[in-house]
Amino acid sequence: MSTLEYTEAFQQFEACANADERNVVDVASDPATGLIRFGVKGELTVSGPDNGSAVDRCYRRFFSEIELEWQTTDAAVLAAGNQESLDTFRRDLEPCLEANGYDVPDDIESGTQLFGDLTQVAITLINEGTCVLD
């Protein structure tokens, strides 16, 4: 899928959802990935039954499948997500793990088995109250 197809699908959704009143708000595009971030007035149900709103109806008609494909297949979006996960891990979980005697390799990568295992250990330590997030 091209950036143009993704952007055009969003524009169709936005035009449809805003036909009667401004429902799609705070639209911004990530310059690195092209990922469009937006807010809506009211609720948008991404899965499950349609809630009957214009936003829901338009989202499902024009953008839901395109957005899902973009977020799960675009290389730049996936790389940014991995980097964000790694940054969060380094900032929030690594100090907890190291304070409790766990060795975190300098070259750990998001999405690996070790990354998942250490994330689960850190979550357990946090849930037990052994570590506190800032």
DSSP 16-67: HHTSSS--EEEEEE-TTT--EEEEESS---SSSS--S-HHHHHIIIIIHHHH
Q: How confident is the model over 52-71, as pLDDT tens digits?
A: 888 999 999 999 999 989 88
Query: For residues 129 and 73, what is the distance between their CA atoms, to the nearest angstrom?
Result: 37
Residue 59 tokens, joined: 């989202």
pTM for the full model? 0.65
Interior angle at CA 47, CA 83 and CA 111, nearest 5: 20
Digit-coded pLDDT (tens) for 104-133: 999 998 888 999 899 999 988 888 888 877
pLDDT exceeds 80 at position 26? yes
Q: How far is CA 60 from CA 41, 46, 75, in A?
A: 16, 8, 24
| Cα–Cα dist 97/103, whole Å | 7
Smallest CA-to-CA distance from 78 within 119, 112, 35 is with 35
